[in-house]
Structure 1
Amino acid sequence: MQTVALVLALLLAVTLSRSLARLTRCPLPLVQIGLGVLFALGPLPSVELEPEIFFLVLLPPLLFIDGWRIPKRDLFRDGRLIVALAIGLVIFTVVGMGYFIHWMIPAMPLAVAFALAAVLSPTDPVAVASVASSAPIPRRLMHILEGESLFNDASGLVCLRFAILAATTGSFSLSEAAASFVWLAVGGIAVGVLGTFAVTQLQRVLTAHIGEDGGTLTLLSLLIPFGVYLLAEAIGGSGILAVAAGGVAMSFVEAGGRAQALTRMRRTAVWDTVELAANGAIFVILGEQLPRIVQDATATIGADGSGALTLVLYVVAINLVLVLLRFLWVWATVHVVRIRLRFMKMEARTVSPQLVLATTLAGVKGTVTLAGILTLPVVLADGSPFPARNLAIVLAMSVILSTLLIATVLLPPILSHLRLEAEADDDERLAFEASGAAARQAIEAKHDLLLKDGGDAELLAEAAARALHRYERREGGAGTDDATVARARHIRRAARELQLAGLEAERRSLFTLLRRRQVDDGVVRRLVRQVDLLEARLRED
């Protein structure tokens, strides 16, 4: 009963947090963390957070939907920069930050310092989007940050696994670590892609034989991330990479456009709710854990003759070094990409200092940092306590809070002066072109259907007029005799068939543009949703 009460209290806190964020104009993650602190001071029992369950329950759906919805056109266009940030920056941060933390805190073993650095390397674009709501991040930059976070979660957690192994066993082999990394990456990606395609193929076979059940297909899409995560972990691969790769694979499956309109609409609504609840629950849990961990960490530092001031200095120093390392890597990577483009005689635009600074400050820590640091074991292999565990946890959580605050204060003024390209105009142009191409396909499909069936020419002409003028006002009937009613019924049926044929052709045209990467995923998703709404309305009539 207590578990049920805790879950309901978490969901209530997440629900209230959005209204409070709008009223106070405070970033949503900070509001949720504050509610978590109040939650910890309330009458309900404290949340006993088990890292394995935390990873399994909350992370798979979030990473899966991120991979599913990330724009593939931008992902391939900025692939080199995303890979450099997702893998190169993580390794650079782990090495540089690990040695710095060990130098600053000699009582923390080097392996533990590397573990702390590993969980501090991934970023959280959801938190960035929240704190930058007053000055929205440019679309292309946001997509780069989304791609980075999608894959640096896996690389950061892989580095964490090796660091924990070195801390608990006292040994580390670079060759074994490299081989393990390759297997984790290859095995995880393979399980994610093949598992997603296998499930969706089975779904197509069943649908072809017994028809489409929207509720069942929606539930099946929710189970895919958990299934590929568990399977990848069972074979020693990366469950995080499996979920991310499965989400990307799911986007290609969706581009086939085989699901019915109502199924897509229901599935989108369910996934939006799951994403809202999981993201909010993570930050509420962070706030709920914060008072107890700060108390434990302060007691641990006090045992060494230091106090809270030392803890604050540690957090400030770690944040400064994190910003410096990220700034150096982003600056170097962007300029290397520009140099390569020039060498290939491709267009290379000037990179503004504001862009590099905004990308640097957008490295906000969040869900994976919280989940990863809590996986630190309590004892070593010989049964002795894990060194500096409480200190590492409180430092990680303090960095999450401080990066959120830094981004809240500094990102909006920087972003207000940052201009990449006329993205809004470009989106509108692409949407207009895609909509026009889809409309042409719809008109052709209606004409083909008219020519296909000779029938009553007068009836078909009237049906076509109604189909081509969707919102034409219905006129009162000229009579009420059976023949007139029957003819009106036939006209409505024919007009409905023509409209459905046009909408299907319109949707096929949009998905074709998406598969050819001629239009951004977000544009196609918005236009397809409009078509789906019209089709659902027609089928209800």
Structure 2
Amino acid sequence: MDSIEIVLAMLLAVVASAYLVRMLPVSMPLPLVQIGLGAGIASVSTHGVQMDPDLFFLLFLPPLLFLDGWRIPKSGLFRDKAIILELAFGLVIFTVLGAGFLIHWLIPAMPLPVAFALAAIVSPTDPVAVGSIASRAPIPKRLMHILEGESLLNDASGLVCFRFAIAAAMTGVFSITEASLTFVWLVAGGIGAGLGVTLAITWAQRWLFRHFGEPAGSPILVNLLIPFGAYLVAEHLHASGILAAVAAGVTMSYVELSGQVMAATRIQRSAVWDTVQFALNGVMFVLLGEQLPTIMEGARVSLDQSGHLNPWWLVLYAFSISFGLMALRFIWVWTALRITLFKRTRRGEEVRKPHWRLLLATSLAGVRGAITLAGVMTLPLALPSGAPFPARDLTIFLASTVILISLVAASVGLPRLLRGMHFPEEPAEQKEEDLARREAASAAIAAVERTQIEQMQAGAENDMYPEAAARVIALYQHRLDTTTAVDDEDVARFRKLDMAERVLRLAALQAERRAIFSLARHEHISDEISRKLVREIDLVEARHKH
């Protein structure tokens, strides 16, 4: 019963955090509020949460990574694939080597393989934390897409480096050939498992629906289970379950382009996934806060392991490692940018150097989070000889403090660093949106004309359809006129007109909803009719808001 009460308390803390972050007089990212609430739960609870890293990885990471892979813009992912791969793989190796030697130099009592293990587990960035901070800082869309793509892939590379560093600490042997081959299999097997499981489940689901119909709620439940299936299959094959979940999400985004899912299912599924994402993200950071008392208790043991008596040495180590990670990230980003600009100049392309504040923001946005915490908890308790694993408590403490420092630094630094900067919209995105609207309007007009003729030939009331068709076509013709305008002033005018029309439509929809609620309260209409009409209005409003 105590475990159930703790879980319920954590879920309530997640709900409370959404309100607290709005009530606080100072701007604070949601993850920090949730960590604070988790620490509060731990202070009043008599039974702490015994965190099982394997269970944590299975329950939390697959659905969140699946959803990130599903929703991340694919055009941006493939457009900036070179930069993302450099950050996700090259930067991780650079961080493991640079931070590993830095940690061993700072703390000679920590063996070099353990220092590399600590550097490896703090190398992956956390998209959840970055996304929360980005909602309060004007991070450009393209940079945000790069950070999201990096965080989706660097989990696998960081965990692979962590695994081999632990193996070297346990056995005293490290093989670069074995590590390279294992890494290739982890990546290829993980991506293959995610792709195969998603396609197989999708094909089976469509076959069943075609022959036996579609049970209510079944598509959504199957969709929720896909990431877990991909993760477990990859782990069974000793490949990367994390990459399998990401690959499954990316594959699902392409499967959706077939348009075979009903609109109602898509709307319901989106709401379910939003709820799952909010709950799991929140519980992860509440759980981190709940672990803080245990981590602080381990700090006392860590003090002996570091070879010092003054506890301020631990604080110095934590800040030194955190700022060392930021410096290594800045060096990598700056060097990669200089190489890219040099190549473009050699090809004769136009080169525009990004602002120095944007480079610094890219370095500061490398926030650590749940994977770092879960990964470091998997450290062995003892060596094969039976001796305690060297500096285990110290490693856990430093990894945990790096998470907190990176969160605070990004939440405080990013909004101030990017304040006042203006980032223009991507012209390619606007062109794609205009093209989509134009094509959709043309298809809609053709469908209206075709349906009008079919209905009139079928014996419907002929005097109604011409007028109704003219009214519907007029709406889409206006959209065509808007998107085909050539003059820039006309384009701006039409867009302002669309915005004004959207405001009026939303005001009208809100008035409709208030009237329906009033009729239902006074029992002039039934609850069933009220729910049906309000849902229709909500769907129309959602379309106009987006």
TM-score, normalisation: structure 2 = 0.83
For residue 310 of structure 1, report the CA deviation from its aligned partner. Answer: 0.4
Aligned partner of 1:482 in structure 2 is none
Q: Answer yes or no: is 1:250 the counterpart of 2:252.
A: yes
Aligned partner of 2:328 in structure 1 is 325
| Aligned residues of 1:123 and 1:363 also touching (Cα < 8 A) | yes
- Provide the rounded CA distance (Å) in 2 between the counterparts of 1:461 and 1:436: 29
Q: 1:209 to 1:353 in 2, by over 3 A?
A: same
| Aligned residues of 2:114 and 2:390 also touching (Cα < 8 A) | yes
| Aligned residues of 1:338 and 1:348 also touching (Cα < 8 A) | yes
Aligned partner of 1:161 in structure 2 is 163
More displaced 10-residue stretch of structure 1: 26-35 or 426-435:
426-435
For residue 224 of structure 1, report the CA deviation from its aligned partner. Answer: 0.7
Aligned residue pair count: 483
Structure 2 residues without counterparts, runs of 5 or longer: 481-505, 507-531, 540-546
Of 171, 176, 184, the match for 1:182? 184
Q: 1:471 to 1:443 in 2, by over 3 A?
A: closer
Q: 1:298 to 1:248 in 2, by over 3 A?
A: same
Give the SS at the match of 1:255: helix
- Provide the rounded CA distance (Å) in 2 between the counterparts of 1:178 and 1:279: 33
| Aligned residues of 2:448 and 2:473 also touching (Cα < 8 A) | no
Aligned partner of 2:148 in structure 1 is 146
More displaced 10-residue stretch of structure 1: 286-295 or 86-95:
286-295
For residue 346 of structure 1, report the CA deviation from its aligned partner. Answer: 3.8
Q: CA offsets per residue over residues 337-380 of structure 1, 9 Å max, x none?
A: 22333334444322221111110101111111111111111122
Of 8, 25, 30, the match for 2:32? 30
Aligned partner of 1:212 in structure 2 is 214
Specify which structure has the bigger relative contact order, considering alpha-carbon pairs within 8 angstroms and separated by 6 or more residues.
Answer: 1
- Provide the rounded CA distance (Å) in 1 between the counterparts of 2:456 and 2:444: 20
| Aligned residues of 1:122 and 1:153 also touching (Cα < 8 A) | yes
Q: How does 1:40-79 map to 2 (within 5 A)?
A: 40-79=42-81
For residue 401 of structure 1, report the CA deviation from its aligned partner. Answer: 0.7
- Provide the rounded CA distance (Å) in 2 between the counterparts of 1:134 and 1:229: 32
Of 407, 410, 413, the match for 1:410? 413
Percent identity of equivalent pairs = 50
Aligned partner of 2:493 in structure 1 is none
Q: 1:468 to 1:406 in 2, by over 3 A?
A: farther
Aligned partner of 2:363 in structure 1 is 360
More displaced 10-residue stretch of structure 1: 125-134 or 88-97:
125-134
Aligned partner of 2:139 in structure 1 is 137
Of 435, 438, 442, the match for 1:436? 438
- Provide the rounded CA distance (Å) in 2 between the counterparts of 1:426 and 1:461: 44
Aligned partner of 1:391 in structure 2 is 394
Structure 1 residues without counterparts, runs of 5 or longer: 473-498, 507-529
Q: Which amino acid aligns with 2:232?
A: L
| Aligned residues of 1:6 and 1:44 also touching (Cα < 8 A) | no
For residue 307 of structure 1, report the CA deviation from its aligned partner. Answer: 2.9
Aligned partner of 2:263 in structure 1 is 261
Aligned alpha-carbon RMSD (Å): 2.7
More displaced 10-residue stretch of structure 1: 348-357 or 155-164:
348-357
More displaced 10-residue stretch of structure 1: 404-413 or 291-300:
291-300
Q: Which amino acid aligns with 1:332?
A: T
Aligned partner of 1:103 in structure 2 is 105
Q: Answer yes or no: is 1:369 the counterpart of 2:372.
A: yes
| Aligned residues of 1:75 and 1:147 also touching (Cα < 8 A) | yes
Q: 1:418 to 1:124 in 2, by over 3 A?
A: farther
For residue 428 of structure 1, report the CA deviation from its aligned partner. Answer: 5.7
Q: 1:345 to 1:464 in 2, by over 3 A?
A: farther
Q: 1:93 to 1:432 in 2, by over 3 A?
A: same
| Aligned residues of 2:452 and 2:469 also touching (Cα < 8 A) | no
- Provide the rounded CA distance (Å) in 2 between the counterparts of 1:31 and 1:87: 31
Q: Answer yes or no: is 1:194 the counterpart of 2:205.
A: no
| Aligned residues of 2:295 and 2:400 also touching (Cα < 8 A) | no
For residue 291 of structure 1, report the CA deviation from its aligned partner. Answer: 1.6
Give the SS at the match of 1:46: coil
Q: 1:374 to 1:447 in 2, by over 3 A?
A: same
| Aligned residues of 1:450 and 1:460 also touching (Cα < 8 A) | no
TM-score, normalisation: structure 1 = 0.84
Aligned partner of 1:5 in structure 2 is 5
Q: Which amino acid aligns with 2:171?
A: T
More displaced 10-residue stretch of structure 1: 462-471 or 144-153:
462-471
| Aligned residues of 2:445 and 2:473 also touching (Cα < 8 A) | no
| Aligned residues of 1:214 and 1:262 also touching (Cα < 8 A) | no
Q: 1:408 to 1:206 in 2, by over 3 A?
A: same
Q: 1:468 to 1:169 in 2, by over 3 A?
A: farther
